Amino acid sequence: MEIPATERRSSEHRALDLLDPAGLAEVFSDNDRQAVEAVRGARAEIAQAIAMARDALGSGGRLLLSGAGTSGRLAVIEAAECWPTFSSDRVQALIAGGSQAFLKAREGAEDDREQGATDARALNLGAKDLFVGVAASGRTPYVWGTLDAAREAKAKTAILSCASPTEAWVDLQIVLATGPEALTGSTRLKAGTATKCALNAITTGAFALLGKVMDNLMVDVVPSNAKLVVRARGIVQTLGGVDADRAGALLDAAGGQVKTAVLMACTGLEAEPARERLAASGGHLRRALEADS
């Protein structure tokens, strides 16, 4: 079997242990630049993934992610961050070896394709879902097992990898051509950086299209800690044209819902009528505001 690009030995970095700190910093910063270039090279496919995720989430389906090792941890992080950022729990992730593998590596778990299928089936997959397998090498059996289950359920499927995938039947292939790592095979480096960038783009882009962003502000942020309370209040101030005290009062009246508070500030509506207008606009704050003009 051909060795994937992510496992090949780089011809440029044969003596890491002989470099001084400045030399090492130069190597890894140069590799980070290559990771970003690889993401840019796949922007057409990432745009397709954004559209597919928008369609899945907008139709009541989910964006589901799976991975093993570093790829699995990145998938879990992406899913976890969508709740506080976008007030959505419909981005979910599986990691080979279960939740305990997030903190302590269980490398052998990635080889079990049938366990991947079993874990994915437990999510009650449906045709409205989009399932994205994340595998730096493009060949992780556990990940392909989750995609097998998604295909059985007639969900849309995609593979996000940093080398050519071993199977081509998925609806979308996103290949981030990061090449060999500075430390041979350590895909937590370039491949991990590129993968995180791509996942960021897919989720943020999809939710922007779904009305959870206005301008460049996260108008569905969940104010669940002191920092996010300040952020939410600042968004209401900016979009609602009110001072900090008024923004705080509106947020309280809106039950912490930023979009509702902004609409109240701009229209004079009470909380419930503002929520109704937002619902009528499909949750898009800009559309709800334009309906008042």
| Helix-helix angle 244-253:258-267, to 10 degrees | 120
Task: Return the H-helix or E-strand segment holding 64.
Answer: strand 63-67
81 is catalytic: yes
Structure tokens at 17: 């242990």
Structure tokens at 290: 């334009």
Q: Under a CB-based contact definition with an 8 Å cutoff, are residues 239 and 214 in contact?
A: yes
Annotated catalytic residue: which of 81, 152, 270, 290? 81
Handedness of CA 278, 284, 285, 291 (dihedral sign): negative
Task: Return the H-helix or E-strand segment holding 6.
Answer: none
How far apart CA 134 and CA 286 sit, in angstroms, is 34
For the chain, the 3-state helix, strand and coil shares in percent, each to the nearest 5, are: 55, 10, 35
Which residue is it, tokens 């796949």?
Answer: 42
CB atoms within 10 A of CB 222: 17
Annotated catalytic residue: which of 7, 26, 78, 110? 110
What residues are labeled active site? Answer: 81, 110
